Amino acid sequence: MMIQAVHVPESAEAVAVHSARGGQIMGGGTVVMPLVTGGAAPGGELISLRRAGLSGIEVRDGQARIGAAAPLSSVEEHPGLGFLRPAMRSIASPTIRNLATVGGNLFVEQPYGDLAVCLLALGAVCEIAGPGGRREAPVADVLASGVDHGEFVTAVVTALPEPGTWYYHKAMRRRLNSASIVTVASVTRTEDGVVTSTVIALGGVAPRPVRAVSAERLLLGRPLSPEVLTEAGEAARSDAAPFDDAYASAWYRARVLPVHLRRAFTG
Amino acid sequence: MSSQIVSLVVNGEPREFIAKPGTTLLAVLRDSLGLTAAKRGCAQGSCGTCTVLVDDRPVTACLIAVETVSGASVRTLEGVAAGGDLDEVQSAFVDNFATQCGFCTAGMIMVAEALLDRDPDPSQEDVAEAISGNVCRCTGYQPIMIAILDAARRRRGESPKPVPASEETVSREEKVSR
């Protein structure tokens, strides 16, 4: 479809007006613009979030609020979000991270969307605006079923993980700038050597980021030993629905899932 | 909506042009402003040949709808050679044989400019990460990384001294003369 207009509204309210009329929301353009250039634009009107005042990042009192239009590079560079830096640096290249946005990462197809995997593990909440006003929804719900017509994510809010509870690992074909084969993100607490609570999110192994609930169940009350972690990783296969793509086969993704789940914790 | 007038500051000069909705920054630079250093490669952000600096950050110009950056400062390779003299990065690319067919060169140099503006003393790892969005299919990444590290030394006022890295790189001249 030919593009009839690119709106660059200067407030969330103005975004909502265009969005209610059916415009396509665009963050950094890293997904939308190749479609536009290729003549396959997802609609006649694009709404850029670049100037809508949704790029701020606030970190205080153990909580982070990240504007949906914040580029990935600003998350990577934020002194209060150091725990996310390895994850951000595993996504695409610095050049792309200067454009691609936090909100956009929630809507990209797997095997992209490693930040979304992190936000799922963190139990983050999306702030959403739309014709019906504002609402909040867990990232898990937005990943599972998107947002309603005319709605758009304005920010994600997450508690910062306590020191020593954050785990992230991404298996790629290359060390830099490659999509996920398996991504593992987790907030896991241990006490006296055993797991007291755990949330594990997986990327690269299903059509969207998923919780490894079978692995979580197996880890509770047990130590993070290589044997237990491998067992949990094998259990996680039942939470995954891997796919073939140019990076890896579904068979390979399922085969190496336990290895990478273990490595997320043991390094 | 019809075409609109968009203004940018390109290489320090205010420029105005008419753009159809959804025109990329790359198309504007090449087709409206005649600045053809940034190359049209994959047109989907994967190859990095169209890399320019927007407000001092390296970005792929093929992914930017130009309306979204109206008023921004854009720096292209054409703006690097002040007064026609090659800068440190450019001369280091020449001296270290870091350009062969030249298609990736403009993007590589712009990424290097941004890197060295932020970090005057990058490690080899830093350089590898910085150019990780830029594909080179003939020169090879090693001479390019050597050139960027050499450019950093030149900018710091140290003597331009190519790093004696891999045999292959060092002996290229010798091979030619043999």
Decide: helix, strand or coil at residue A200: strand
Q: Tell me the angle at which helices B105-118 and B88-95 cross, rounded to the nearest 10 degrees.
A: 130
Nearest CB among A8, A34, A177 relative to B68 is that of A8
ipTM of the complex: 0.95
Do B133 and A94 lie within an 8 Å CB cutoff? yes
Contact with chain B for residue A24, Cβ under 8 A: no
Nearest CB among B1, B62, B64 relative to A4 is that of B1
Q: How confident is the model at residue B1 (pLDDT cuts 50, 70, 90)?
A: low
Contact with chain B for residue A177, Cβ under 8 A: yes
From CA B51, how far away is CA B61, in angstroms rounded?
Answer: 6
Do B65 and A37 lie within an 8 Å CB cutoff? no
From CA B60, how far away is CA A28, in angstroms rounded?
Answer: 11
Q: In Å, how far is A39's CA from the nearest CA of chain B?
A: 11
Strand partners for A127: A136, A155
- What are B51-70's pLDDT values in tens digits? 999 999 999 999 999 999 99
- What are A21-33's pLDDT values in tens digits? 999 999 999 999 9
Q: Is pLDDT above 50 for B177?
A: no
Contact with chain B for residue A41, Cβ under 8 A: yes
Contact with chain B for residue A215, Cβ under 8 A: no
Secondary structure of chain B in HEC code, one letter for each residue? CCCEEEEEEECCEEEEEEECCCCEHHHHHHHHCCCCCCCCCCCCCCCCCCEEEECCEEEEHHHCEHHHHCCCEEECHHHCCHHHCCCHHHHHHHHCCCCCCCCCHHHHHHHHHHHHHHCCCCCHHHHHHHCCCCCCCCCCHHHHHHHHHHHHHHHCCCCCCCCCCCHHHHCHHHHHHC
Average pLDDT over residues A1-14: 94
How many contacts (CB atoms, under 8 Å) link A and B? 92
Chain B residues with CB under 8 Å of A99 CB are 45, 59-60, 63-64
Strand partners for A219: none
Contact with chain B for residue A31, Cβ under 8 A: no
User: Residue B101: is it exposed, middle or buried by C-beta count within 10 angstroms (0-12/13-18/19+)?
Assistant: exposed
Q: Cα A214–A216–A217 angle (5° rounding)? A: 65
Q: In Å, how far is B36's CA from the nearest CA of chain A?
A: 18
Average pLDDT over residues A66-95: 98
Q: In Å, how far is A89's CA from the nearest CA of chain B?
A: 9
Interface probe for A, chosen from B49, B57, B68 (most Cβ of A below 10 Å), is B68
Residue-level pLDDT at B166: 53
CA nearest to A186, candidates A126, A136, A249, A236:
A236
- What are B107-157's pLDDT values in tens digits? 999 999 999 999 999 999 999 999 999 999 999 999 999 999 999 999 999
Contact with chain A for residue B70, Cβ under 8 A: yes
In chain A, the N- to C-terminal Cα span, in Å, equals 47
**pLDDT: is B167 or A118 the higher one?**
A118
Q: Which residues contact A223 (CB under 8 A, 6 or more apart)?
A: A190, A193, A194, A195
Chain B residues with CB under 8 Å of A4 CB are 1, 21
Do B22 and A177 lie within an 8 Å CB cutoff? no
Do B65 and A89 lie within an 8 Å CB cutoff? no
pTM recorded for the entire structure? 0.94
Contact with chain A for residue B118, Cβ under 8 A: no
Residue-level pLDDT at B82: 78
From CA B112, how far away is CA B130, in angstroms rounded?
Answer: 7
Q: Tell me the angle at which helices B88-95 and B141-155 cross, rounded to the nearest 10 degrees.
A: 140
Count of positions (residues) in chain B? 178
User: Residue A44: is it exposed, middle or buried by C-beta count within 10 angstroms (0-12/13-18/19+)?
Assistant: middle
User: Residue B141: is it exposed, middle or buried by C-beta count within 10 angstroms (0-12/13-18/19+)?
Assistant: middle
- What are A97-130's pLDDT values in tens digits? 999 999 999 999 999 999 999 999 999 999 999 9
Q: In Å, how far is B31's CA from the nearest CA of chain A?
A: 15
Backbone angles phi, psi at A88, to 5 degrees: -65, -40
Q: In Å, how far is B70's CA from the nearest CA of chain A?
A: 10
Chain A residues with CB under 8 Å of B136 CB are none
Chain B residues with CB under 8 Å of A21 CB are none
Chain A residues with CB under 8 Å of B70 CB are 8
